[in-house]
């Protein structure tokens, strides 16, 4: 069966991917790729005249606004040190809220920009983390979560926007996750995570001071409450009860009746109601692509939109008036651009043009969803990027990319880093190894307490897929990844030392015992779930040592590059410091890049330029020629 699948893939690649072509493909610098602007978010102003969003045009994220009719974006914040993440306009004026931390440490505070453009920290609690939740129905307050009372638990607070004095709304003593508050403020929807595969949902009745358990069950079933209806009578939630995939249900607070609302052949990622409950928006994770659906609650039918722009539509948001809808369109060759649709006229308008005009999209490549077989016959999905003219000049090198997690997913989207690497002659295969999300809960469970085993087999077998193309040199395949993907890089070099030509680890775990002992306190609600999946450092130390690359670093013989943010609260710098020193002791080439002003991920453009260009130089140095045996 395995050869047959490879044969089908080879034929598909021959039919779908470009050959040598007649036009020369231009190579671009990383500076040119990162001159492309990254934007996200979107909050309509109270009068629907403007939209608030985030952009890194200045090299770091700041808040911008733009007229819904188009025009020039106006920069609203002037941060040069820490990224600003705008979340919402005020309900009745042009003030807005944003979040910001200190150098990527994830200790966010909630800030307000007032009518004069002056910033004010609304949560100035030293050492405490605060995140915005949502506005109250009357628009006189907003809710935020904060761990100032107990660093382990995020309590829910209500902030009056006249006095800006917060009051605790729900004291969270048991590590619940807060989902929503009913319009009448009587009910709080909560969830409790037991493992990544098993959770419960509750409603707390503030009037009766009682907690109602809505999901008593046996076995592994997830329940995720999302939103109350505007009349406070129903709660919408997602569950995978009796299914491989998550689907949408509702719960009637008066009768206790459950109803299935929407199902799909893939996971429903989220679903929510517009402000007055006229529309319902659903996002489906369709084979690593987002599929958006918008339903008219009055008619019960999907909204009939005009022909939309080519690409993947994401991040749909509807204004409070329910007259306008914002959305983003992206693709593997094009970054996200912001659009606004008018329900009254049926017309839409593109507001931004994020791509650097120096880059010809024809020089970039399309991502293709492919599948191959692993060592045990399990079918592994992946996202493949083939360089233009790959068959023309002999065999080429390739890079296996492993996503973060555990439990993340490589998706079809625009990546400046991947397009940069492909543009410089490397095939890239982004693997969704066993344990990745998006392919059903059975697939998701397959790497529990088996990390660095079957999931690593899936990465190694990706080389056979690349080899089967006929134009990739199997001896010049490297492996790269970030966070959990960085761990997989280190595991590959330590446990399969001859398989990959080189490895690039971006802030990956080298010592699971230490990482699990140093989990940020605000992750308390998720701690047990992580221990169940990975191991408890108090009781499973031997197992965790066995899967930690640091303690097997003597096996590493292939070149390694490590990149790390000094302020990373999830994978602390010691993880990278020690693996670098251990591998250097082997006499193996090691390069190490530390960014003093970054955390778990590199946000500043100047750091991305330095890091990504260093990665390409490292790959060129060690993979242009076959590795020495």
Q: Please choose, from the candidates 152, 91, 93, 95, the residue with its C-alpha nearest in 3D space to the C-alpha of residue 122.
A: 95
Is residue 548 annotated as part of the catalytic site, yes or no?
no
Task: For strands 590-595 and 367-373, give the pairing.
Answer: unpaired
CA distance 42 to 51: 6
- From 483, 510, 525, 576, active-site residue: 483
Do 400 and 429 contact (CB within 8 A), yes or no?
Answer: yes
Do 376 and 354 contact (CB within 8 A), yes or no?
Answer: no
Q: Please choose, from the candidates 456, 411, 415, 409, the residue with its C-alpha nearest in 3D space to the C-alpha of residue 436.
A: 409
The DSSP bridge partners found for residue 334 are 331
Q: Please choose, from the candidates 247, 465, 505, the residue with its C-alpha nearest in 3D space to the C-alpha of residue 370.
A: 465
Q: Which two tokens stand for residue 263?
A: 């199902």
In Å, how far are 14, 136, 141, 480, 579 from 401, measured between CA atoms? 22, 42, 44, 5, 20
Is residue 568 annotated as part of the catalytic site, yes or no?
yes
- Give the SS3 label for residue 565: strand
Q: Rounded to the nearest 10 degrees, what angle do helices 2-16 and 454-468 cross at?
A: 50
3-state SS of 184-249? Answer: CCCEEEEEEEEECCEEEEEEEECCCCEEEECCCCCCCCCEEEEEECCCCCEEEEEECCCCCCCEEE
CA distance 226 to 190: 9
Do 603 and 61 contact (CB within 8 A), yes or no?
Answer: yes
346-382 b/e (C-beta count within 10 Å ≥ 16 → b): eebeebbebbbeebeeebbbebbebebbbeeebebbb
Q: 292: which residues sit within 8 A by CB, 6+ positions away?
A: 281, 282, 283, 284, 313, 314, 316, 327
- Asked if residue 323 has a cis previous peptide bond (ω within 30° of 0), the answer is no
In Å, how far are 89, 294, 329, 331 from 313, measured between CA atoms? 23, 12, 5, 9
Q: 419: which residues sit within 8 A by CB, 6+ positions away?
A: 33, 332, 333, 364, 365, 385
The DSSP bridge partners found for residue 130 are 146
Q: Please state whether 181 falls in left (phi above 0), alpha (psi between -120 and 50) or beta.
A: beta
- From 180, 200, 448, 568, active-site residue: 568
DSSP 27: P
Q: 330: which residues sit within 8 A by CB, 6+ positions away?
A: 311, 312, 314, 336, 337, 413, 414
Task: For strands 367-373 and 379-385, give the pairing.
Answer: antiparallel
- From 109, 197, 403, 600, active-site residue: 600
Do 159 and 166 contact (CB within 8 A), yes or no?
Answer: yes
Is residue 600 annotated as part of the catalytic site, yes or no?
yes
Q: Please choose, from the candidates 98, 52, 96, 103, the residue with its C-alpha nearest in 3D space to the C-alpha of residue 81.
A: 103
3-state SS of 373-421? Answer: ECCCCCEEEEEEECCCCCCCCCCEEEEEEECCCCCCCCCCCCCHHHHHH
Catalytic positions are: 483, 568, 600
């Amino acid at each position: 069966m395995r050869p047959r699948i490879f044969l089908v893939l080879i034929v598909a690649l021959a039919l779908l991917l470009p050959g040598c072509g007649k036009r020369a493909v231009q190579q671009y610098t990383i500076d040119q790729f990162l001159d492309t602007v990254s934007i996200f978010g979107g909050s309509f102003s109270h009068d629907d005249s403007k939209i608030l969003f985030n952009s890194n045009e200045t090299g770091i994220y700041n808040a911008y606004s733009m007229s819904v009719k188009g025009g020039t974006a106006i920069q609203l914040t002037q941060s040069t040190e820490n990224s600003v993440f705008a979340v919402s306009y005020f309900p009745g004026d042009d003030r807005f809220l944003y979040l910001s931390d200190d150098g990527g440490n994830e200790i966010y505070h909630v800030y307000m920009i007032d009518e004069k453009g002056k910033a004010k920290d609304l949560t100035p609690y030293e050492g405490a983390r605060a995140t915005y939740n949502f506005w109250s129905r009357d628009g006189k307050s907003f809710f935020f979560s904060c761990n100032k009372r107990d660093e382990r638990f995020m309590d829910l607070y209500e902030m009056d926007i006249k006095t800006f004095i917060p009051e605790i709304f729900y004291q969270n003593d048991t590590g619940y996750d807060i989902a929503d508050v009913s319009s009448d403020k009587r009910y709080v929807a909560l969830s409790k995570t037991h493992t990544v595969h098993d959770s419960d949902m509750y409603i707390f009745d503030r009037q009766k001071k009682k907690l109602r358990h809505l999901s008593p069950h046996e076995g592994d079933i997830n329940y995720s409450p999302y939103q109350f209806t505007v009349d406070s009578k129903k709660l919408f939630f997602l569950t995978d009860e009796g299914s491989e995939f998550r689907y949408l249900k509702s719960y009637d607070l008066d009768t206790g009746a459950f109803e299935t609302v929407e199902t799909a052949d893939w996971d429903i990622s989220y679903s929510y109601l517009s402000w007055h409950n006229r529309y319902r928006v659903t996002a489906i994770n369709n084979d690593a692509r987002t599929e958006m659906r918008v339903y008219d609650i009055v008619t019960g039918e999907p909204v009939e939109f005009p022909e939309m722009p080519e690409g993947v539509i994401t991040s749909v948001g509807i204004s409070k008036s329910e007259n306008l809808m914002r959305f983003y369109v992206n693709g593997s060759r094009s970054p996200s651009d912001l659009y606004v649709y008018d329900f009254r006229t049926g017309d839409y308008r593109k507001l931004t043009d994020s791509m650097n005009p120096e880059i010809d999209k024809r020089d970039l490549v399309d991502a293709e969803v492919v599948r191959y077989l692993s060592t045990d016959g399990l079918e592994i999905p992946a996202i493949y990027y083939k360089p233009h003219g790959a068959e023309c000049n002999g065999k080429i090198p390739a890079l296996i990319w492993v996503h973060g997690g555990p439990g993340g997913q490589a998706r079809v989207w625009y990546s400046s880093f991947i397009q940069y690497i492909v543009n410089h002659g490397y095939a890239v295969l982004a693997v969704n190894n066993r344990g990745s999300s998006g392919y059903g809960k059975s697939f998701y469970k397959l790497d529990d307490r088996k990390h660095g085993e079957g999931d690593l087999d899936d990465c190694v077998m990706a080389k056979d897929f690349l080899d089967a193309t006929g134009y990739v040199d199997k001896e010049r395949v490297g492996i790269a990844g970030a966070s959990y993907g960085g761990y997989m890089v280190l595991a590959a070099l330590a446990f399969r030392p001859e398989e990959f030509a080189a490895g690039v680890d971006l802030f990956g775990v080298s010592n699971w015992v230490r990482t699990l002992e140093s989990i940020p306190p605000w992750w308390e609600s998720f701690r047990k779930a992580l221990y169940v999946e990975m191991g408890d450092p108090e009781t499973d130390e031997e197992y965790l040592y066995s899967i930690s690359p640091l303690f097997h670093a003597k096996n590493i013989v292939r070149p390694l590059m490590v990149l790390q943010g000094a302020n990373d609260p999830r994978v602390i710098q010691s993880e990278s410091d020690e693996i670098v020193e251990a591998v250097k002791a082997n006499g193996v080439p090691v390069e190490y890049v530390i960014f003093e002003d970054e955390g778990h991920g590199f946000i500043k453009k100047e750091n991305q330029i330095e890091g990504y260009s260093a990665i390409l130089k490292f790959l060129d140095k060690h993979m242009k020629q076959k590795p020495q045996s």
